[in-house]
Amino acid sequence: MPVYDYDMIVIGSGPAGQKAAIQAAKLDKRVALIERKTVLGGVSVNTGTIPSKTFREAVLDLSGFRERAFYGVSYTVKQNITIEDLLLRTDQVIRHEIDLTRHQLTRNHVELMGATASFEDAHTLRLDFVDGRGQRLVTAEVIVVATGTEATMDPHIPFDGRQIITSDDILRLDRLPRTLAVVGAGVVGCEYASMFAALGVRVTLIDKRPRLLPFVDAEVVDSLAYQLRESRVTLRLGEDVRDIEPVHDEHGDRVRIHLVSGKQVVAEKALYSIGRTGNTGKINLPAAGLTADDRGRLKVNDHYQTVVPNIYAVGDVIGFPSLASTSMEQGRLAACHAFGIEAKAVPELFPYGIYTIPEISMVGKNEEELTIAGVPYEVGKARYREIARGQIIGDSTGLLKVLFRTDTRELLGVHIIGEGSSELVHIGQAVMAYGGKIDYFVNTVFNYPTLAECYKNAAFDGINRMGLSVEHTDTSPAPAVTPKV
C-alpha cells in the first residue's frame, strides 16, 4: 500500500470544502485543507452569500423599507445612507463567520495551509504558499476539489472594480451610485437590483432572456417584476449587450451600455452579473487525468467522484444547483463515500431561496413543470394581506401558493414571494418529504398570528377550487368535527 501524507486533502475552504474536511476528520482521518486566499470561507463567507444577505438586511433596516406600508413611501430610518453604513454590518458578520470557520476546522484537527494547489498527479498536489514560503508537494489517498467559481468576465469589457464591477466588488464600492445598470437578471443580478432600488438608486436591469428567473413560478416572477417596477427599476428584457464603455466628461464618470437593439443605457456604475465559471483553469487538471467543460465545471457521479475515482469534486465547481446549502451536503456526502460510510445523494427535494426584495422561495415542482409532465394538479393561494400577520408586518403583496395532485391530494410544490418566505418554505418541504397531503394544513393548528397561517388558507382555497371536502389523514390529528370548507 502506498503511504500518503494525508488520508484526504481538500482544495478550497468554502462551504463544500469545509464540510468534506470536517466529515473526514470526524472519521478520524488525517485531513489537510488548502486555501489560496488569506481568509477562510470561500465565496460564501467573503463575497457571496453572507455579505449579500447581510447587505440586504442593512438596506432593509436603514431604509425603513419594511415600514413604508404604514408610514409612507418617503419614510426612512436614516437620511443619506452611505456605503459605509451598509458595510459596517457586513464587515462584522464576515469577520465572525471567518472566525467561526477557522474554529470549526481547527477544533476538528483539520490542518490548514495557505497555498494555491495544483495537481502533479492523481494523488499529489503542488502547493504554492501564499506567504512566499515557496513550494511543497503533498500526497493524499483522496483529493476533494472544492475550488468553487468566479464571476464570469467578458474579455471585451473593461472591468475596473469601480465603475464596471462584478458582485465581488460590491463590498469595495467607493460610494452609493445614484444610477446603476445591472447586466444579467439571474439570481445575483435580481437580488442586487432590488437592494439598490430599495435605497432609492435608479436601477436598469438588462437581460437577453424575455423574462426574469425562468426557473421560478411565472406568477411569482410577475409579482417580482411588478414590485421592481414600483421601486422604479427599468426592466430591459430580451435585450443583448453589445458593448460597455466608461465615459468621462463634464457630467462626471459614467458607464454607457450599448444594446444590440440600438438602445443605450447610461448609469454611474454597471454591475455585470451573467454567471459564474468554475475555478479549474489553474489547477492543472490534465496532470490528474481530468478535464473540465467549457464553463470550468467538473463532471461527477452520484457519489461526487470524478472519472478518477480517488478525486472527488463538490460545490459550485460541479455546477447546478450552486448553492451554499447543497454544497455543504455534497462535501459531507463525498467524504462519507470516500471512506466507506454509506450515504445517500443530496435529496432532490431541496428549497431554493432568492433574496430579492421581496424575498422568493420555493420547493418542489412549479405549474409549468407539472403541466409539461401532464400531472393533474390544483393550486391553492393565500395572500399575506388576508392574514393577520401580513397586516401586522405591513406586507400586503406576499403570496403563498401550494400545488397538489388532484387524484392523490399529495403536496407537489410550494412557491412563495414575500417577507420570511425562505423560512416559511421549510414547512412545505417537510410535509412533502413525508409524502403529506394538502389536508395536513387544514387539519393542523399553527401559531397565531403567523405567516404559517398562509398554508391553511391556501389549502382551503385549493380544496374549494376542486369542490372537494377535507380528508382526515394520518399525517395530522383529526379534529372532532369536519371543518367547513
Q: What is the amino acid identity at position 219?
A: E
Which is nearest to 208 in space by CA: 231, 234, 235, 233? 235
Q: Could you tell me which residues come within 8 angstroms of residue 170 by beta carbon, excluding any fewer than 6 positions away? A: 47, 51, 52, 55, 192, 271
> Is 117 an interacting residue with respect to ligand FAD (CB under 6 A)?
yes
Question: Which of 7, 9, 10, 17 is in the footprint of ligand FAD by CB under 6 A?
Answer: 17
- Which residue number, 315 or 428, has a Cβ lying nearer to ligand FAD? 315
Sign of the C-alpha dihedral, residues 327, 332, 337, 339? Answer: positive
Q: Which stretch binds ligand FAD (CB under 6 A): 153-161, 313-321, 333-341, 438-446?
A: 313-321
Q: Collapsing DSSP states into helix, strand and coil, what is residue 482?
A: coil
Counting residues that bind ligand FAD (by CB under 6 A) gives: 39
**Of 296, 315, 358, 420, which lies in the binding site for ligand FAD, with binding defined by CB under 6 A?**
315
Span from 299-307, 317-325, 376-384, 433-441 in contact with ligand FAD (CB under 6 A): 317-325
* CA-based torsion, 223, 228, 234, 238: positive or negative: negative
Beta-carbon count within 10 A of 119 CB? 22
Stretch that binds ligand FAD, among 34-42, 286-294, 401-409, 473-481 (CB under 6 A): 34-42
Nearer to ligand FAD, 313 or 379 (CB): 313
Nearer to ligand FAD, 85 or 150 (CB): 150
Residues 161 to 180 in contact with ligand FAD, rule: CB under 6 A: 167
**Residues 231-290 close enough to bind ligand FAD by CB under 6 A:** 279, 282-283
Q: Reduced to 3 states, what is the DSSP secondary structure of residue 300?
A: coil
CB of residue 51 vs ligand FAD: minimum separation in angstroms?
7
Is position 306 an interface residue for ligand FAD (rule: CB under 6 A)? no
- Toward ligand FAD, which CB reaches closer, 36 or 332? 36
Binding ligand FAD (rule: CB under 6 A), the pick from 169, 207, 217, 316 is 316
Identify residues 354-373 at the interface with ligand FAD (CB under 6 A): 355
Tell me which stretch binds ligand FAD (CB under 6 A): 47-55, 132-140, 374-382, 463-471. Answer: 47-55
CB 362 to ligand FAD: min, Å: 13
Strands 149-151 and 276-278, by their bridges, are antiparallel
Which three three-digit cell numbers place residue 375? Answer: 400531472
* CB contact at 8 A, 125 and 310: no
Q: Is 15 in the site for ligand FAD (CB under 6 A)?
A: yes
Taking the CA atoms of residue 81, residue 83, residue 86 and residue 87 in that order, the dihedral angle to the nearest 10 degrees is -160
Asked if 148 interacts with ligand FAD (CB under 6 A), we say yes
Among residues 23, 31, 48, 205, the one that binds ligand FAD under rule CB under 6 A: 48
C-alpha grid cell for residue 180? Answer: 446603476
- Considering Cα of 285, then 290, then 295, then 299, what sign does the dihedral take? negative
Interaction residues for ligand FAD, span 430-459 (CB under 6 A): none
Which candidate, 416, 463, 457, places its Cα nearest to that of 219?
416
Residue closest to 382 by CA, chosen among 441, 429, 436, 432: 441
Q: How far is the CB of 215 from ligand FAD (least distance, A)?
A: 15
* Shortest Cβ 327–ligand FAD spacing (Å): 4
3-state secondary structure of 181: strand
Type of residue found at 161 = G
In whole angstroms, the minimum distance from the beta carbon of 298 to ligand FAD comes to 11
Site for ligand FAD (CB under 6 A): which residue of 6, 24, 49, 183? 49
Q: Give the helix/strand (H/E) hosting 164.
A: strand 164-165
- Cα separation, 413 vs 366, whole angstroms: 6
Distance CA 259, CA 39 (A): 38
Q: Which is nearer to ligand FAD, 330 or 443 (CB)?
A: 330
Beta strands in 323-410 (DSSP E): 352-354, 360-364, 377-383, 399-405
Residues between 319 and 338 with contacts to ligand FAD, criterion CB under 6 A:
322-325, 327
Min. distance of Cβ 63 from ligand FAD in angstroms? 20
Calpha distance 288→280 (Å, rounded): 12
Q: Any contact of residue 186 with ligand FAD (CB under 6 A)?
A: no
Note whether 281 and 149 are within 8 A (CB): no
**Site residues for ligand FAD per CB under 6 A:** 11-17, 34-37, 42-44, 48-49, 52-53, 116-117, 146-149, 167, 188, 279, 282-283, 315-317, 322-325, 327, 353, 355
